[in-house]
Structure 1
Amino acid sequence: MMLKFKVILLIFLMTSSYAENEAYVDTEGEYETIDDSLFSESKKSSSRNGRLFFPYQHSIADSIFEAFGKNGINKNTADYFAFLRDSYDLPDGLKSPLLEYDFVIIGAGSAGSVLASRLSENRNTTILLLEAGKPEMLLTDVPALAPYFQATDYTWQYYMEPQPGVCMGMINERCFWPRGKAVGGTSVINYMIYTRGRPQEWDRIAADGNYGWSYNDVLNYYKKSEKADLDGYEKNPNRNRNGILPVRFVPKRTKLIKAFLQAGEILGHPTIDYNSPDQLGFGHVQVTIEAGHRASTAKVFLHKQKKRRNLHILPEATATKVIIDPQSKVAYGVEFSRNGRQYLVRARKEVILSAGPIASPQLLMLSGVGPKNHLISKGIHVIEDLPVGKTLYDHICFPGTIFTLNVTNVSVRESAATTLSSIVSWLRDGDNDLATPGGVEGIGYIKTPVSDDPDEIPDIELISIGGSFVADGGPTGSKAVRKGMRIRNQVFDQAFGPIDDTDTWSAFPMLLHPKSVGYIELKDRNPFSHPKMVGNYLTEPSDVATFVAAIRHIQKIAATEPFQKFGARIYPADYLPCRSYQFDSDAYWECAVRMLTATLHHQIATCRMGPAGDPQAVVDPELRVYGISRLRVVDSSVIPRTVSVHTNAPAIMIGEKAADMIKTTWSI
């Protein structure tokens, strides 16, 4: 009966719009008055008023709906189950937060959730954790639904500024940069991949003058969180079984991952724990999943801790400014907006920005900390002239190396995951296709022939998919992955229409160390405007050459006997702008990469860490903002160099490390 109840609830959650949960009531007169002249009406019209919806057909929901349609369930039914979302009620019956806390943390994402959890371990320390997004709910638990949530209110709908020659196949030829807007941040919408980076990369960061950030230093904090269960790898000295963050292998595998690993060994890539510091190689993907369900940082670091009386968590509260005394340059408070009103809360000890690599630099600049001339041009009083947003690195990938197969039912296909029995199986056991993070099954690190790095550091990560992005197609398919990337329908249909919803294999090459550098600026001084995000993708020729070399290596993998058992053949995608190039020529692949340029959501360095005297540094090695007292940045924006990582695990590590730094500073 309980299982049937969960399925029926799932129907309602997947087929309904989501009403706002307005349990929180503000009390008049408790906060200082704030000038609201900058808060334009445009922010109201641009929001969805808290309603979560999917802008395209949802095949998993449809399959459940059809199975239970006879029970009178209506797709347009209002959401009567909003109470199923996680709740973060303030303790002791409080209807509004206090006027003052020891620490105010902006952003309950991968780093902020960890930081709030660790600082609140001391009962005498008070913490307010502000988050612009909503709490999680049942659907965010489903790993396979990651691409769906990139089109909902659980995501900041960021777009890179138009750049000629990249993302040409995307809607409006613009690159989509979704970031998590939820308690749990991007860990609620990402693909849950757990990677740490190579020892040499962290040692280089330390060698630049960032004391305390060598590989051995950060390894201690990776291990502190980790609760690994990896078929024996967890017994290695660089892993930990006793933390609280689950790190697992994906419970469901296709035959294609075996072929990927066997092919890697043929080409000299051993099957290993790819997070091991000892060597490069291929391995089964490691993910933050437990029992087939997503393990977000909110679930891991806040759910059991939220009843602490000294930890106040306030969802749907958007920070708009850090309050800094312009004379003493001491940060002492935060302005935030909630339910259309603006408030100010004070911090006795520190204000901490954990809003992520886009919102953290934006908030610093809105608060008067940033490039002097840029802030003046936006009418912002300059408190500290720092190179905020001047450096931005991102990991981009190419999803278009797709191989057709001459056998059926060997790859992940959405049509196989949308049966009622499959959904019930996931609810019960968490061990089927719904537990796969977008079909990702393996990770491989390679160093291409064009790399000029003298150390054994990869320049490409290969992400092996138990299928490809055609797996979400067909007459009943949601097409969620391609739409999550914002690929135009006509581009997809022309390039891949003939193989839509067929058995395929693909490997995404991810560019680990781009030479191309972007930046972030403000568009205006309205805190509800998205910033101006410039990626400068592929502006350096070496980045293009690395992609082409990676595609050649993927072709070598597919040419090995393990893949030839399945008849793997590269599919000649037909892109209209690329027709002047011979298929499979280097020029064709450059054109193809420029058509389907996709971010992996790993922006870094916008609040770059560096030693005193570093002209590019925004924060010091203890993450304190230069020139401003009692203000830190604790998230992936501080990472100063490109690292071979998906940034969720490093952000968690940064939260762990920052918590110890702050405890030391204040003798907590």
Structure 2
Amino acid sequence: MEGGRCFWPRGKAVGGSSVINYMIYTRGIPTDWDRIAAEGNYGWSYQEILPYYLKSERANLKRLQNSPWHGRDGELAVEYVPFRSKLSKAFLDAGKYLGHRRVDYNSPDYFGFSYIQATMSKGHRWSSAKAFLHSKKKRKNLHILHSTRATKVLIDPATKTAYGVEFQRNGRVYQIKAKKEVILSAGPIESPHLLMLSGIGPKEHLESFDIPVVQDLRVGETLYDHITFPALPFILNTTRLTIIERRESTIENFVKFSQYGDGPMSSLAGVETIGYIKTNESDELGDLPDVELLGGCASLASDEGNIVAKGIHLADWLYRDTFKPLENLESFSILFMLLHPKSKGHLKLRSRNPFDYPKLYGNYLTHPKDVATVIAAIRYIIKLVDTPPFQKYGAKLHTKKFPNCVQYEFGSDNYWECAIRTVTSTLHHQIATCKMGPAWDPDAVVDPELRVYGVNNLRVVDSSVIPRTIVAHTNAPAIMIGEKAADMIKRSWGMVS
């Protein structure tokens, strides 16, 4: 990666990172949420959070019209991705060949393979802003300030009560007061950053920047993230099976997308299918996955390195050496997601300046179990592609060694460890930086009603509160958290209808 660092972009737009994400709609499996509840987080069991997923969802999923596990009257559009290559069927058929069932992975019967359910409507992105804000913009009690940066939560140090927010807009500093409470919903990076700037965080760390300590809490000291290895290309001897940007960039395909929401431009950058597996590295009992597979019809070479490789900040020397030779070939990749990493990261302040980004430490692959599981995932993908559904297209692993890993035998554990440490990419699912937990949890920042411990009238409502890793891309859980928090806030102030 450029500079030997991973790139963690944020969605700086109304709608946040749902404006730039892959739109994959996943909720987390029942065991995830039941474990969160069993750790003292009352109200967060699967049965208790499911109604909030159903409330926001407006599903349009063929063959699932009567499913009790999907909502139909909500604001958030969910549908299958309209475009499907032949490789998507090969992925599902290969899964079946290895014993995996076709399932609705957003039901309790999740352990299997499926087409991806996405936050789309007729092939077009359905961000949280489009779902929840655009039709409400004229409400008198809603004011949206774009191009504005929150810089501090205002807290009375004597009573430890949040009473407002400081923000900067067009070079000027403003303060706005809250009649009831302040709700911080800035995401897993900026929410802990703002808390620390406001005097809520690890005491010694805040004092090192001369920030007056309001409440000593372990803000930012827990951080989990989902990672992938996007650099496992396969080559085909059959044409017209993959998305190649130069080939698909036609007026006809643009019209297909703009008029009908169909065609290759409606694809999620080539990602089409999803599957849950349990590798031989798992210590779990029963059908609990430790890896998610994401089937695709494109590779890092499909756009000639101009979009995806640049988007993850892949180093030019690696792209030129390993992927550029694939640009004129039909190639695709299957990604994986390490669902339950044991490696724990953290974040810290860089300075007292709110415009200085915090220091981010993913600490990826620091736990040996994560390395072993990732290698097991790579081997499983190779096994999957070695089945008849893929072999009828002549699918073959690209065996060009990374230049920095030539000392290892290709395919050995040492080679794969070198490779994954070379290209480790985030899936943008950082969580737990404002960890939710009961009062007896020393790492907890917020209680199960998302109230910041030791500070009155202040809540954090976003994916930073998720206390442990879950089998989910975190966009849908973040929206569910917002739905649930709305009810908790109304109850707190006697506003329940």
Q: Is contact 2:269–2:298 with CA below 8 Å preserved after alignment? A: no
Q: What do the CA deviations read for 1:251-309 (whole angstroms, capped 9, x no partner)?
A: 11100000000000111111111112124001001100111111000011001011111
The aligned residue for residue 159 of structure 2 is 328
Kindly provide the amino acid, as one letter, of the partner of residue 645 in structure 1: A
Secondary structure at 2:179 match in 1: strand
The aligned residue for residue 530 of structure 1 is 357
Kindly provide the amino acid, as one letter, of the partner of residue 311 in structure 2: G
Provide structure 1 residue ranges, at least 5 long, that are not aligned to the other structure. 1-169
Given candidates 316, 329, 345, the residue that maps to 1:489 is: 316
Given candidates 278, 285, 292, the residue that maps to 1:447 is: 278
Q: Is contact 2:28–2:470 with CA below 8 Å preserved after alignment? A: yes
Cα distance, 1:505 vs. partner? 2.3
**Aligned counterparts, 1:175-574, within 5 A:** 175-473=6-304, 479-574=306-401
The aligned residue for residue 15 of structure 1 is none
Cα distance, 1:455 vs. partner? 4.4
Q: What do the CA deviations read for 1:83-137 (whole angstroms, capped 9, x no partner)?
A: xxxxxxxxxxxxxxxxxxxxxxxxxxxxxxxxxxxxxxxxxxxxxxxxxxxxxxx
Given candidates 422, 443, 464, the residue that maps to 1:616 is: 443
Q: Is contact 2:343–2:370 with CA below 8 Å preserved after alignment? A: yes
**603-612 or 570-579, which deviates more:** 570-579
Give the whole-Å Cα distance in 2 for the aligned partners of 1:371 and 1:498.
49
Give the whole-Å Cα distance in 2 for the aligned partners of 1:501 and 1:200.
45
Q: What do the CA deviations read for 1:377-419 (whole angstroms, capped 9, x no partner)?
A: 0110000000000100000000112110001111111122211
Give the whole-Å Cα distance in 1 for the aligned partners of 2:109 and 2:241.
33
Q: What do the CA deviations read for 1:566-624 (whole angstroms, capped 9, x no partner)?
A: 10111013211100001111111111111110000000000000001110100000000
The aligned residue for residue 162 of structure 1 is none
Give the whole-Å Cα distance in 2 for the aligned partners of 1:193 and 1:518.
24
Kindly provide the amino acid, as one letter, of the partner of residue 289 in structure 2: P
Secondary structure at 1:423 match in 2: helix
Q: Structure 1's 443 and 354: CA in aligned 2 closer, same or farther, altered over 3 A?
A: same
Name segments (4+ residues, structure 1) moved above 6 Å: none
**604-613 or 569-578, which deviates more:** 569-578
Is residue 602 from structure 1 mapped to residue 433 from structure 2 by the alignment? no
Give the whole-Å Cα distance in 1 for the aligned partners of 2:325 and 2:165.
54
Give the whole-Å Cα distance in 2 for the aligned partners of 1:501 and 1:372.
56
Give the whole-Å Cα distance in 2 for the aligned partners of 1:209 and 1:233.
34
Give the whole-Å Cα distance in 2 for the aligned partners of 1:597 and 1:447.
21
Is residue 586 from structure 1 mapped to residue 413 from structure 2 by the alignment? yes
Give the whole-Å Cα distance in 2 for the aligned partners of 1:263 and 1:423.
32
Give the whole-Å Cα distance in 2 for the aligned partners of 1:501 and 1:378.
53
Task: Please say which structure displays the higher CA radius of gyration.
Answer: 1
Give the whole-Å Cα distance in 2 for the aligned partners of 1:366 and 1:455.
44
Cα distance, 1:454 vs. partner? 2.5
Q: What do the CA deviations read for 1:180-219 (whole angstroms, capped 9, x no partner)?
A: 1000000000110000111001000000000000011111
Give the whole-Å Cα distance in 2 for the aligned partners of 1:599 and 1:657.
27
Q: Structure 1's 232 and 316: CA in aligned 2 closer, same or farther, altered over 3 A?
A: same
Q: Is contact 1:234–1:240 with CA below 8 Å preserved after alignment? A: no
Q: What do the CA deviations read for 1:33-91 (whole angstroms, capped 9, x no partner)?
A: xxxxxxxxxxxxxxxxxxxxxxxxxxxxxxxxxxxxxxxxxxxxxxxxxxxxxxxxxxx
Give the whole-Å Cα distance in 2 for the aligned partners of 1:467 and 1:395.
21
Q: Is contact 1:357–1:636 with CA below 8 Å preserved after alignment? A: yes
Kindly provide the amino acid, as one letter, of the partner of residue 650 in structure 1: P
Percent of counterpart pairs with the same letter? 58
Secondary structure at 1:179 match in 2: coil
Cα distance, 1:501 vs. partner? 4.2
Kindly provide the amino acid, as one letter, of the partner of residue 303 in structure 1: H
Q: Is contact 1:472–1:501 with CA below 8 Å preserved after alignment? A: no
Q: Is contact 1:177–1:601 with CA below 8 Å preserved after alignment? A: yes
State the TM-score, normalized to the length of structure 2.
0.98
Is residue 661 from structure 1 mapped to residue 492 from structure 2 by the alignment? no
Q: Structure 1's 462 and 667: CA in aligned 2 closer, same or farther, altered over 3 A?
A: same
Give the whole-Å Cα distance in 2 for the aligned partners of 1:454 and 1:259.
29
Given candidates 468, 471, 475, the residue that maps to 1:648 is: 475
Q: Is contact 2:29–2:110 with CA below 8 Å preserved after alignment? A: no
Give the whole-Å Cα distance in 1 for the aligned partners of 2:485 and 2:256.
40
Kindly provide the amino acid, as one letter, of the partner of residue 226 in structure 2: H
Give the whole-Å Cα distance in 2 for the aligned partners of 1:199 and 1:206.
11
Kindly provide the amino acid, as one letter, of the partner of residue 210 in structure 1: N
Secondary structure at 1:582 match in 2: coil
RMSD: 0.9
The aligned residue for residue 21 of structure 1 is none
Secondary structure at 1:312 match in 2: coil
Secondary structure at 1:374 match in 2: helix
